[in-house]
A and B are shown apart, each in its own frame.
Chain A
Amino acid sequence: MQQDVQAALPNSMPDPSVPVQKKRTLWRRITRNWELYLFIAPAFFYFLIFHYGPMYGIQIAFKNFIPTMGITGSPWVGFEHFVRFFDSYYFWDLLWNTLSISLYELAVGFPLPIILALAFNEVKDSFFKRTVQTVTYAPHFISVVVMSGMIITFLSPSSGIIVHMIQFLGFDAPQFLTDPAWFKTVYVLSGVWQSTGWGTIIYLAALSAVDPQLHEAAIVDGASRWRRIMHINIPAIVPTITILLILNMGSILGVGFEKILLLQNPLNMEASDVISTFVYRSGLLDAQYSFSTAVGLFNSVVNAILLIVVNQIARRTSENSLW
């Protein structure tokens, strides 16, 4: 610091105008921390190449991409691929499947971690509580492939344990894996099993910040546990809920397609084909690069718009928003 000041003195102009001074101190602040630019360089180039690079590649959605001519050299075709997609007979099916799976997942999967976190919060730290937490967090670490394998095995019509249980209770077990009517439920409930426990952590963090004095005061006033949850704990986690809800809405067309891809089979296709699996199939398997990029772009744009709209609504109606 001192050296900086001394170094600055001999150079000072007879009449140093303010902007020049400012420029110099800015330059000094940059050069003094030049190493920090080296620190951020790998991440900068990573995001530039692997995230902004593909964004540059999006232009092939408006072109007829011919690999030998490259991205820039391929001829423009305007909105042709989009029109083809919107006019296709599968457009509405894809949109409906994507939306319904997402909303189903949101409706079932979003409130459960909140309820479980509130329940955890009512229990004093004990062996029981730690056990339930450890066990319910664990499925988070099971890979999608193993998860799908478990689903397929448990629901196997001939040997699946869940099928056996339903039969034991005297009912006919549905064809979970091949009946389109069951696909969404299987997908959503297995997701609930896998991620509800882990999802509580973020709410527990918010709940741990609640001032115990609030509870003490409420107890003195004779408030029951139920009322304290409703009037102290829930308001305390509303900001977290809002933020997560906004983030979830922003990915409503981006359902976890890795699992869908694994659970998909020709028989349940009419319920399981979503935009992202369609992009994978038409883009990477059938090599319709331009067309599938257009479909993917439609997906990303809708997501981005939803995110902005929901964030805007949240900002108007509450104090919590992403930006």
Chain B
Amino acid sequence: MPSAVKESRGDRWFLLFNYMYLLFALVIVLYPLVYIISASISDPRYVSSGEMWLLPKGITFEGYARVFENSKIWTGYKNTIIYALVGTAVNLLVTMPAAYALSRKDFVGRGFFMGMFLVTMFFGGGLVPSYLLVKDLGMVNSMWALILPGAASIWNIIVARTFFQSTIPRELQEAAHIDGCTNLRLFMKIVLPLSLPIIAVMALFYGVGHWNSYFSAMIYLNEEAKYPLQMILRQILVLQEMGSEMTGPVSGEVAQALANKADVAALVKYAVIIVSTLPVIAVYPFLQRYFVQGVMIGSVKG
């Protein structure tokens, strides 16, 4: 916006409203986040009675202590990390080479492959045939049921393809060919090193997806020891099932304060929300640029 021009009276009013609107949006979004943080370290009685409404009151870390003592949450955490790492690696291995091939104008059959992939964006077999397929492939109750059916996303392939098309100069590729460089070497030695930002974006998109997903785990896994974190969270937050090790008697000073089982349960809930969401929310401000980049590349109609 050119700022040298003096704002007219009407424009100043407009800007005032605009700032107020943005402030309103900020408060609306920020409040629940702050509330959860405060509630996770407040005396649950103040929380459930509504006395704690913004800043922590009667500070206690009992909720976190319970969460850290809970072996189910740790197992879930470990499983989620494994699934997210392996899953993201598979995602990248499928997405990046395919996106590169599709970015090459001299790739015969490009239109066919693109069309074949795009159709799946708008039409699919649906839940039950997909489930039966995974079952027939013998993947039920294994990690692969969570990873292989989502091995690539057409959206991400398009984003990566658009990146390759717009940042890797065609002359570079042609020159490499004339020098006798094979496509494989070209991809590994020239294209990928130039594409670190998009690899980061893809890894982030896929990684967050794995971290946050629960549905495949719910339908394909039937052993609790294999559950990812989100399934454990579902038990705690949504189904409100908590084992006695979570709500059982406490020792020490806090014991009196936490006489009520329901209070402990509530406290654990807030703590577990923080513990499970923290890794994503904590890295996000540093990586925001990359996420935004990914969406922006994707928005270039391709």
Contact = CB atoms under 8 A, between A and B. Distances in A.
Interface of A: 1-2, 26, 29-30, 33, 35-40, 42-44, 46-47, 49-58, 60, 71, 116, 119-120, 122-124, 128-129, 131-132, 134-139, 141-146, 148-150, 152-154, 158-159, 161, 164-165, 167-168, 193, 196-198, 201-202, 205-206, 212, 215-216, 219, 224-226, 240, 243, 250, 258, 261-262, 276, 279-280, 283-284, 289, 292-293, 296-297, 299-300, 303-304, 307
Interface string B146-180: 00110110000100000000000000000001100
A193 B281 CA distance: 16
A54 B124 contact: yes
Interface of B: 1-3, 5, 7-8, 10-11, 14-15, 18-19, 21-23, 25-26, 28-30, 32-33, 35-36, 47-50, 53, 93-95, 97-98, 100-102, 104, 106-109, 113, 116-117, 120, 122-133, 148-149, 151-152, 157, 177-178, 182-184, 187, 208, 211-215, 219, 230, 233-234, 236-238, 266, 269-270, 273, 276-277, 280-281, 284-285, 288, 291-292, 295-296, 299, 301
B273 A50 contact: no
Given A43-B94, A119-B18, A202-B295, A57 B238 contact: no
Given A50-B130, A132-B22, A144-B214, 11 more contacts: A39-B183, A56-B125, A57-B130, A143-B230, A149-B233, A149-B273, A205-B295, A219-B2, A296-B127, A296-B129, A304-B122
A224 B8 contact: yes
B288 to A, nearest CB: 6
A146 B106 contact: no
A33 B50 contact: no
A293 B128 contact: yes
Q: Tell me the interface secondary structure of chain B in the complex.
A: helix
B237 A148 contact: yes
A47 B120 contact: yes
A141 B94 contact: no
Contacts of A134: 285, 288
B108 A30 contact: yes
Contacts of A135: 26, 29-30, 33
Given A201-B295, A225-B14, A154 B32 contact: yes
A1 B106 CA distance: 13
Nearest to B219: A284
Given A55-B124, A58-B129, A149-B233, A205 B299 contact: yes
B122 A42 contact: no
Contacts of A51: 120, 124-125
Nearest to B180: A3
Contacts of A148: 237-238
Nearest to A71: B132
A92 B133 CA distance: 30
Contacts, number: 286
A255 B64 CA distance: 35
Contacts of A1: 177-178
Contacts of B288: 134, 137
Contacts of A43: 94-95, 97-98, 113, 117, 152, 157
A138 B29 contact: yes
B238 A300 contact: no
B1 A279 contact: no
B22 A123 contact: yes
Contacts of B101: 36-37, 39-40
Nearest to A168: B50
Given A58-B125, A158-B48, A219-B2, A143 B10 contact: no
Given A161-B50, A250-B122, A284-B128, A40 B273 contact: no
Nearest to B31: A161
A134 B35 CA distance: 18
B114 to A, nearest CB: 10
B29 A57 contact: no
A304 B97 CA distance: 29
A283 B95 contact: no
A136 to B, nearest CB: 5
27 contacts: A36-B100, A42-B93, A43-B94, A54-B132, A55-B129, A56-B125, A57-B132, A135-B33, A138-B281, A142-B281, A145-B238, A149-B237, A159-B48, A161-B50, A193-B28, A201-B295, A219-B2, A219-B5, A225-B7, A225-B15, A226-B14, A250-B122, A276-B127, A279-B128, A289-B132, A296-B126, A304-B123
Nearest to B291: A137
Nearest to A129: B22
Contact of B187 (A39, A50, A144, A165): A39
